[in-house]
Amino acid sequence: MKEEISKFNENELIEEVIESLDISKSDYDRAVESYKAVGSYLESRLGSNVNIYPQGSFMYGTVTRPYYKGKDAEYDIDLVCKYEPLPDSAVACKTICGNALKSSKRYLGMLKRKEGRRCWTLEYSEIDDVDFHIDILPSKHAPRECIQELVEKGVPIKYAKFALKITTKKDDGSYRWDDSNPKGYKAWLDDVTSLYIRDERMICKDSVESVPNHTERKTQVHRVIQILKRHRDVRFDHAEMSDIKPISMIITTLVTKVAERNPNKSISVFDLLQMVISSFETVKTLCESYMRYDAFEESFIKRRNNGEWEIINPVDPNENFADKWHENGSERAKAFFIWTDWLKQDLISPLLSNDSITAFPSLSKGLGRDSVQRVYEKMKLPVTMPTLTIITKEDTKNMPKPWRAND
């Protein structure tokens, strides 16, 4: 009898774990209420020439309960503040938004003291005891010639038309325009996920646009992104590695690219997860073979002969999400390939074991013990306590190189 109850269906278990990583409806509602309030306030101050909408995981439907110092942590919701007509300069764009926030007694008290490179940050956790913050990104619509350039580089107009110019404060205190396209990226993600399960999204009529409904159905693609982000957060949850962990845009892009190339509406979450991790391993194998750059042409992760890595934004070829991977002896690339091994060890192997007792330590190491234990209790599965191992940057220096020998 004991043996019977220790068995599980790997897809059922992984879906239960992922569902437990969603933020609660009450937390979601508080974040959305706060986001709409600041959006409405900015519109009231700046007039009808501003458009406020979300970007990032709240916009993409991939919000995952954050993890920091061994426990669930604060999350954030990112807003775009786009002006029409266009501000003359990047500094004007940034300053107009900041001055509007500072003119409110409430928001002035919530503003992070140090101005961010790109955003103004409102810290709700310190004001209302709500564990989230809001990043507001000042921007303007990209000029027509920039959109045309994207089209000429192969970006469909249905994505390119949403391109933005965003503000960046440089180290010397001056400002510049950079490129971004969160709405175009969202449209691309929606097109790919429509090949799986069509989400039921809210119809937005307000000028302050809504985030996707908390009750919307997520596709297999969204769920795989969520579990990879959670695993990343747990496994890199210490100072030695936190600054070189794979960024969320890389995870979201790579998962969606794999899903786009291999569309299968009925694929299980677990099978898609295996497919994604297998694609990471393929790139690692190519690197270990010291093959030339042209051998990477069919890969979503590429490396030039000069040692620089590429993971290109699918809606903006000018943006390389891996632009820092060549720094410090390719430590971010090394971290990514170490993470690939961890994914197999912590998720795939234990789930394929089909035995809850042997799977629990590895799943807990990769996803957080409390989260996994809650799912086990819900599914009435027996557990054992895991032993956690901390990996440091020093370990990355001693691992075999999955790249050219001349590094």
- Number of neighbouring beta carbons within 10 Å of residue 231: 23
Q: What is the pTM of this model?
A: 0.84
Q: For residue 391, what pLDDT is reported?
A: 56
Question: Do 233 and 67 form a contact (C-beta atoms < 8 A)?
Answer: yes
- Number of neighbouring beta carbons within 10 Å of residue 249: 16
Q: What is the CA radius of gyration of the chain?
A: 22
How far is 103 from 126, CA to CA, in rounded Å?
19
Specify the long-range contacts of residues 232-238, CB closer than 8 Å, at least 24 apart. Answer: 232/339, 233/64, 233/66, 233/67, 233/68, 234/67, 234/365, 234/366, 234/367, 234/368, 235/339, 235/342, 235/346, 235/365, 235/366, 235/391, 236/335, 236/339, 237/67, 237/68, 237/69, 237/70, 238/390, 238/392
How far is 336 from 350, CA to CA, in rounded Å?
21
Q: For residue 216, what pLDDT is reported?
A: 56
Tokens of residue 167, six digits: 């503000």
Amino acid at 70: G
**Hey, what's the torsion of the CAs at 215, 54, 272, 256, to 10 degrees?**
150
Cα distances from 157 to residues 152, 191, 295, 315, in angstroms, run: 10, 14, 30, 10
Q: Whose CA is closest to 73, among 236, 252, 240? A: 236
Q: For every one of its 407 residues, what pLDDT tens digit does the chain have, with 9 covering 90 and above?
A: 344 456 788 888 888 888 888 877 777 788 788 888 988 998 888 876 788 888 888 888 888 877 766 666 666 778 788 887 667 899 999 999 999 999 999 999 889 878 889 999 988 864 444 467 888 999 999 999 999 999 999 999 999 999 999 999 998 999 999 999 999 999 999 999 998 865 443 333 344 555 555 445 689 999 999 999 999 999 998 767 788 999 999 999 999 999 999 888 889 999 999 999 999 988 887 776 654 444 455 578 888 777 788 899 999 998 999 999 989 988 999 899 999 999 999 999 999 888 888 889 999 899 988 888 888 888 888 876 544 455 566 655 655 555 443 44
Residues 75-87: tens digit of each pLDDT: 677 878 888 766 7
State the angle between helix axes of 369-379 and 356-367 in degrees (0 to 180), rounded to the nearest 10: 140
Burial bucket for residue 187 (CB in 10 Å: 0-12, 13-18, 19+) = middle
